[in-house]
Amino acid sequence: MAVGLRLALAVGLVALSSSVWAAKKVDLDYHVRLLPQSDQAEVRLTLAQGSAVRSLDFDLGDGNRYSDFQADGNWQLTPGKPTRGIWRPAADKASLTYRVRVSHSRKNGSFDTRMTPGWALMRGDDLVPAARLDQQDGIELVSRLEFELPNGWKSVETAWPRIGKNKFRIDNVSRLFDRPTGWMLAGHLGSRRTRLGETEVTVASPKGQGMHRMDVLTLLTFVWPQVQAVFPRHPAKLLIVGANDPMWRGSLAARESIYLNTRLPLVSESGSSALVRELAQLFGRVNDTQRSDWISEGLAEYYAIELVRRAGGMSDERYENLHGKLVKDSQKVTTLRDAQASPAQVAKAVLLLQELDREIRLKTRNKRSLDDVMRGAMRLESVNTRDFVQLAESVIGESSRVLNTELLQ
């Protein structure tokens, strides 16, 4: 009887502590009104209970993109490098409103992000800049994003789960401050959708921009089994957006989304694929530090070649031709250590990784490969050259001849 009483008491205490320590949910709503006539977006952050947050300290970069701040509570703008803006919300329902310029041009005149009278291609990272959140204990912010589109604009796409016509749920378990990141596209759009494994894939572009949406879906379907075999990640959504010149003629991965200029070939003459490279960046999420950019860039380019090859999209002859081009392009490289790897350094890194893969397979009798090193790097918060060498040698089970090179000194 005493044992039963103690058990009931213990269960009661657990239930009580659970209810006491359950986080209090407070709504954080983002409202974005697109204003193509002024090339701006009006952004409003609304806290259902301002007292839940002590402060939000925003990194505004050089400060030139943001203007017209209005806040319930205290707003302090501190110029500098970077410019910082600190919002201390009022106690009750509180809002912070500002405007952000959408279009951003590069030195060569092309655009990273752009707004036209009929569409806008932008990044959530710019709409809501990174911030340090200081909130009360026991609070969980529940974040949502809603767009208000100009008259005539039909739709908006993001990589976040859709919970309404132009409304999305923002939930990033790796960050305390949930903000809408990744590529976003709104306006007169054409889109194609499919499901690959556990991932809903959308390919979207403004109409008339020459995006080969079905070609993109076909290549993704072709390489997807190989991607899943290497990278143990299954995002709920993947968004691929594209536009023509004067958008930047390149490709770039962001949170569960990829930008691809529509003039880029899906597979280049050399045999590499910009789309698959960004896919490897997106799934790998390798964060390198200490002048070790060769790791993330080299792995992405290595898998851009390797995944197409494994899927049967590259003959041995083409692979050898590509190998020869990498050798030629990188022949003058004497070091891989740099904060930002050059194209020649990336080519040399791919050659090193190909050689490392062969060494691992040989020394482990084909039981392990570079894939195991890649998966190990994915688990680390960040990785430098020394970490990478240790990781590879733990997979091999002994020191690596390939990584004992002056290229990594």
What are the Cα distances from residue 402, in Å, to 146, 337, 366, 380, 408?
51, 16, 17, 22, 10
**Residue 282 φ then ψ, to 5°:** -65, -45
Residues 6+ apart with CB under 8 A from 84: 57, 58, 59, 60, 77, 78
Q: Where in the chain are the domains?
A: 24-264, 281-408
* pLDDT of amino acid 263: 94
The Cα 392–Cα 373 span in angstroms is 6
The Cα 206–Cα 79 span in angstroms is 37
For all residues of the chain together, what is the average pLDDT?
Answer: 93
Compute the half-sphere exposure of residue 240: CA atoms within 13 Å on the CB side of its CA: 28
Is residue 337 within 8 A of residue 294, CB to CB? The reply is yes
Report residue 232's pLDDT band, with 50, 70 and 90 as the boundaries: confident
pLDDT value at 19 more than 70: no
Q: Do domains 24-264 and 281-408 have the same CATH topology?
A: no
C-alpha R_g of the chain: 24
Report residue 5's pLDDT band, with 50, 70 and 90 as the boundaries: low
40-90 per-position pLDDT tens digit: 999 999 999 999 999 999 999 998 999 999 999 999 999 988 999 999 999
Residues 6+ apart with CB under 8 A from 236: 161, 198, 199, 200
Q: Which of 162, 150, 204 is nearest to 41 (CA)?
A: 150
Share of the chain above pLDDT 70, in %: 95
Taking residues 144-159, report their average pLDDT.
97
pLDDT value at 10 more than 70: no
Fold category of 24-264 in CATH: Immunoglobulin-like (2.60.40)
CATH number corresponding to 281-408: 1.10.390
DSSP state letters, 336-349: --BSS--HHHHHHH
171-183 per-position pLDDT tens digit: 987 788 999 999 9
* pLDDT of amino acid 6: 54
